[in-house]
Amino acid sequence: MPDRHLGTALAAAHNEMLVSRWLEDSSYAERYRGTIRVNPDDITGALREIAKYKDHPRVVQIGVPLQSRDLYGKPQFWPLWEAAVEANLPVAVHIEVGAGIASAPTPSGNTRTYEQYVGFMALNYLYHLMNMIAEGVFERMPALKFVWADGAADMLTPFIWRMDCFGRPHLEQTPWAPKMPSDYLPGHVYFIQGALDGPGDTEFAGEWFGFTGKDNMVMFGSSYPHWQHNTLTVPASYTTEQRDKLCWRNAAELYGIDVGAGISAK
């Protein structure tokens, strides 16, 4: 929203409600983990919210909107990402506003139907991610972790292949990011999928899931209360290890959740 102070106040109210009503309730708090919301348009206010909740045992990540008037690799956002690293919290990026001052979901303008909007909007993570890589954000902050919470992991493979192709001859232009773009993915980039993008339940689905290390990045999320997703069906060609990583292991490792021994995805 245009008023950054109002945006920060709304985020603070959300955080207070989340923590008091859900994360500290004696009846069910142990079952929940939470995301504190911050306003990237107000870095001072965002840092204040992180400082307030960073030591809460059930706060496991920092939430920011996918929609932004500037790409998240730009230096004005670096203090926010540095605070996330210092707090040892990943940053989750999720589609939020749908109108008003938000940018269009495509480079060519707005869509007419929800089907088009939801299909295109999540792909905007690609612009943020490439900008963060090219600006050297992950080189500067090797412990930074980003969770793209609206899926579209299937687009990562052709996108990063393209970036490696065009980036290889021009690495001298970015001495602050000297590696190939794909080298910055492991340990930095994660996705939440409510329905599996990609080739579907095919004999090569498991192989595709392994390309560019996606099987170490993707975590299942129900996307509740969204209703348009079908029931998740893990392709038969996924290995047992890939199923476990998708259904619970990747999330448990990222968020530091002890799930005990003998757990497997059925």
Q: Are the beta carbons of 37 and 63 closer than 8 angstroms? A: yes
pLDDT at site 222: 83
The pLDDT-based confidence of 230 (bands split at 50, 70, 90) is low
Question: With 60 as the cut, is the pLDDT of residue 199 above it?
Answer: yes
Convert the pLDDT of each residue in 14-70 to its tens digit: 999 999 999 999 888 888 999 999 999 999 999 999 999 999 999 999 999 999 989
Summarize the confidence of residues 118-141 as an average pLDDT.
93
Q: What is the C-alpha separation between 103 and 68, in angstroms, rounded?
A: 7
Domains contained in the chain, CATH given: 4-255 (3.20.20.140)
Q: CB burial class (10 A; 0-12, 13-18, 19+) of residue 84? A: buried
Under the banding of pLDDT at 50, 70 and 90, the label for residue 263 is low
Q: Can you tell me whether residue 61 is helix, strand or coil?
A: strand
- % of the chain surpassing 70 pLDDT: 94
